[in-house]
Amino acid sequence: VCFVVSSPLIVKFFLIEQIAALSRTYRLACATNCGGDPAWLQQRGIAVPLLDLRIERAPSPIRDLLALRALQRYFRANRFDVVHSVSPKGGLLAMTAAALAGVPVRIHTFTGQVWANRSGLQRFILKALDTWIATMATHILVDSESQLAFLLREGVLRASKSRVLGQGSISGVDIERFRPNEDVRADIRLSHDVPSSAIAFLYLGRLKRDKGVLDLALAFSQFARDHEGSYLFIVGPDEDLLETHIRQICGHCISRIRFNGYTDNPESWLAACDVLCLPSYREGFGSTIIEAASVGIPALGSRIYGITDAIDEGVTGLVHNPGDVSELVSKMRILALDDGLRRSLGCAARERAHRYYTKEAVTAGLLEFYAQTLGTGGAW
């Protein structure tokens, strides 16, 4: 079995458990852009050979063709029975190369569509590429039911070879790592000069326009005028260089916004805050939502496919229409002013995360899928 992923960060944050579990049953290899460090997985205690493959996230015809050729040769030389890809570019290259190399079982996992909120020629081309991936694959996994329904409506997938494992999610959540922690909460708030009693909202993830980060900034700017004891943490790499725009939008309340870049400890920031905000325009599942749930805090997200699977509306969190800043402000007020509701939503979210979305449950679902698909009963 060979896993192909465009970025090692996807492996690190989402696939480590599955790769480790599968490697105990199958002869596993992995191909990703590991920056010239072929021992990257071994250093994390996983004895899986790693092909360092230059896969660019942005379109790069020459490098993409070189990567396609390298994958085709690698698959043929190692006579893989299965190739499993995750991420759009990884899927495009891996499914095409695997089909050309005659790999019999070709699995791709869809985790969201970059074209979902695009229009015109760009949407047409990107959607066509996803359709090509689905055509080249023999089996399709989708990480949420609402995303699967969207892809079926759009004609990208065929129902006969597409499915969602369990309740969705690509990786589940480590409930021992993501849990309430009063000491961490106190330490982070103290080090960032945020009162222990203040309401703190959190955005956690890549800072990109299509994640609705600027909508959240505008909403907090309006909300903060009437709620002086409120704060906003923005944690994640600034891929679209949005911090300057956020500072301009939130000029009058910038003293109550705390920026932090990339973090290896998302659980700490979740433990320090009261509400996770994900006002995204596109999402595959919303993994940070179930991480927040495991910590015991509710989520406020946009009403789009993927997020509506991760949030049980009115039970584990609240939702708003994407791009509707006024509704976002209104929901922020509800959560800020009603301590009882916030605690009730957080408790229900934690119970749901522990029932359906533990990393063990998600990994077990993938292992069962492999055993059923390969007809091995769990082993070759």
Strands 82-86 and 105-110: parallel
Instruction: pLDDT band for 380, please (50, 70, 90 cuts).
Output: very low
Buried residues in 260-283 as b, exposed as e (16+ CB within 10 A): eeeeeebbbbbbbbbbbbbbbbbb
- Digit-coded pLDDT (tens) for 64-99: 999 999 999 999 999 999 999 998 999 999 999 999
Residue type, 17: E
User: For residue 235, what are its two tokens?
Assistant: 């944690």
Rg of the chain over Cα atoms, rounded to whole angstroms, equals 21
**3-state class of 156 per DSSP?**
coil
Whole-model pTM: value is 0.91
Q: Are 68 and 97 in contact (CB under 8 A)?
A: yes
- Digit-coded pLDDT (tens) for 199-246: 999 999 999 999 999 999 999 999 999 998 899 999 999 999 999 999
Q: What's the mean per-residue pLDDT of the chain?
A: 93
Separation of alpha carbons 271 and 295, rounded Å: 6
Question: Is residue 257 predicted with pLDDT exceeding 60?
Answer: yes
Question: Is residue 145 predicted with pLDDT exceeding 90?
Answer: yes
Instruction: pLDDT band for 378, please (50, 70, 90 cuts).
Output: very low
Percent of the chain with pLDDT over 90: 83
Closest Cα to residue 28, out of 63, 1, 64?
1
- Digit-coded pLDDT (tens) for 340-370: 999 999 999 999 999 999 999 999 999 999 9
Q: Name the least confident of 40-44, 134-138, 166-170.
A: 40-44
Of residues 171 and 325, more confidently modeled: 325
Residue type, 346: G
- Digit-coded pLDDT (tens) for 167-199: 999 999 999 999 999 999 999 999 999 999 999
pLDDT at 379: 38
Cβ atoms within 10 Å of 304's Cβ, excluding its own = 23
Q: Name the least confident of 54-63, 94-103, 128-137.
A: 54-63
Sheet strands (E) in the chain:
2-5, 29-32, 50-52, 82-86, 105-110, 139-142, 162-163, 199-204, 230-235, 257-260, 275-278, 299-302, 317-320
Q: Are 19 and 30 in contact (CB under 8 A)?
A: yes
* DSSP result, 307-362: HHHH--BTTTEEEE-TT-HHHHHHHHHHHHH-HHHHHHHHHHHHHHHHHH-BHHHH
